[in-house]
Amino acid sequence: MEISHRFVEARRVRHHIAETGDGFPIVCLHGWPEFWACWEPLMERLHSKHKLIAIDFRGFGESENPNPEPSDKANARCLADDVIALLDEIGLSRVGFVGHDVSALVMQEIARLRPELCEGLFFFNCVTPGIGSRWNVPEHLGEIWYQAFHQKPFAAEMVGQSEASCRTYIKYFLDHWSYKTGVFDQVIERWTENFMRPDNLQGGFNWYISQNAARLAAMAGEVPELPKIDTPTRVLWGRHDPIIKSDWSDCLDDTFSNVELTFAEEAGHFVHYEMPDLAAGEISRFFAN
């Protein structure tokens, strides 16, 4: 497998794209703490069937961070607008989307803004507004502490004091959110190097600053009623995800009118990295249909 890299400007931001394969195009959108490389196991397994396009969001990976200071300019709508403009720029008018975590909300925005662009939506552990106040029930508060910490003006400086502090911080989430420990051990230096790139820690933390108002509204049950998304949707949910809990899958029907759900019984948050054979097989089956 050969992966090519290029940079494309969209909405005055220089975005990094990693690509491989041929066939129907599938756009892969990452979460936090991730960047394009989290899709390499799927790229290895799917490049003979599909063209895989992994995009770094603004402020992540090798994409430009136009707001290197703490900023509220990187919410789900902003990132969705980036992706739409980027796909228009490279001439793709119909694609499949694969993503989770941050990109779950971004993909929902894309599906509402440009439904004709979406052949299908494939989610791992899908965040929806219907989760609501379950985010802040007492037994879950200990899991979401980082969402408040990332909004502190000193957070990126503190985490990025050294490679060691950055490695410790990022590794905690990679290990804690995975069902089995050690899944990312072989790439932790690569992940550390990525987040030690200038402005990358703040780039990721800006997502939490930007999305905070929407998150608080969802927790308070104040999200406006939105039309359901009609795009064919597939959700493969890691049974043991401690942060986006599999029990929350019961509200998927509030957001999607055509959704298929199954569970990855031996995975946590990072299904695509923890169980890439299962993930690749289900992606291939979904888009073949």
pLDDT higher than 90, residue 12: yes
101 is catalytic: yes
Specify the pTM. Answer: 0.97
Q: What's the rounded Cα separation, in Å, for the pair 31 and 106?
A: 10
Based on its alpha-carbon atoms, the radius of gyration of the chain, rounded to whole angstroms, reads 18
* pLDDT, tens digit (0-9, with 9 covering 90-100), for 146-199: 999 999 999 999 999 999 999 999 999 999 999 998 999 999 999 999 999 999
Amino acid at 101: D
pLDDT higher than 90, residue 104: yes
What's the domain count of the chain? 1
Residues 51, 92 contacting (CB under 8 angstroms): no
* pLDDT, tens digit (0-9, with 9 covering 90-100), for 16-41: 999 999 999 999 999 999 999 999 99
Per the structure, the complete domain to which residue 60 belongs is given by 4-288
* pLDDT, tens digit (0-9, with 9 covering 90-100), for 111-135: 999 999 999 999 999 999 999 999 9
Of 241, 269, 272, 273, the active-site residue reads 269
pLDDT higher than 90, residue 57: yes
Of 15, 50, 56, 101, the active-site residue reads 101
Query: 62 falls in which pLDDT band (50, 70, 90)?
Result: very high
* Cβ-Cβ contacts under 8 Å for 38 (sequence gap 6 or more): 30, 31, 270, 272, 273
Q: What's the rounded Cα separation, in Å, for the pair 15 and 9?
A: 6
208 is catalytic: yes
Residue by residue, DSSP assigns 9-48 as EETTEEEEEEEE--SEEEEEE--TT--GGGGHHHHHHHTT
SS3 189: helix
pLDDT higher than 90, residue 221: no
Residues 51, 22 contacting (CB under 8 angstroms): yes
Query: 58 falls in which pLDDT band (50, 70, 90)?
Result: very high
How much is the mean pLDDT over the chain? 97
Nearest to 124 by CA among 219, 24, 29, 226: 29
Here the CATH number for the domain that contains residue 187 is 3.40.50.1820
Beta strands in the chain (DSSP E): 4-10, 13-20, 24-29, 50-55, 95-100, 118-124, 233-238, 259-264
Of 169, 179, 208, 273, the active-site residue reads 208
- Say if strands 233-238 and 95-100 run parallel, antiparallel, or are unpaired: unpaired
273 is catalytic: no
Q: In this predicted structure, what is the pLDDT of residue 160?
A: 98
* pLDDT, tens digit (0-9, with 9 covering 90-100), for 233-286: 999 999 999 999 999 999 999 999 999 999 999 999 999 999 999 999 999 999
Nearest to 212 by CA among 71, 62, 2: 71
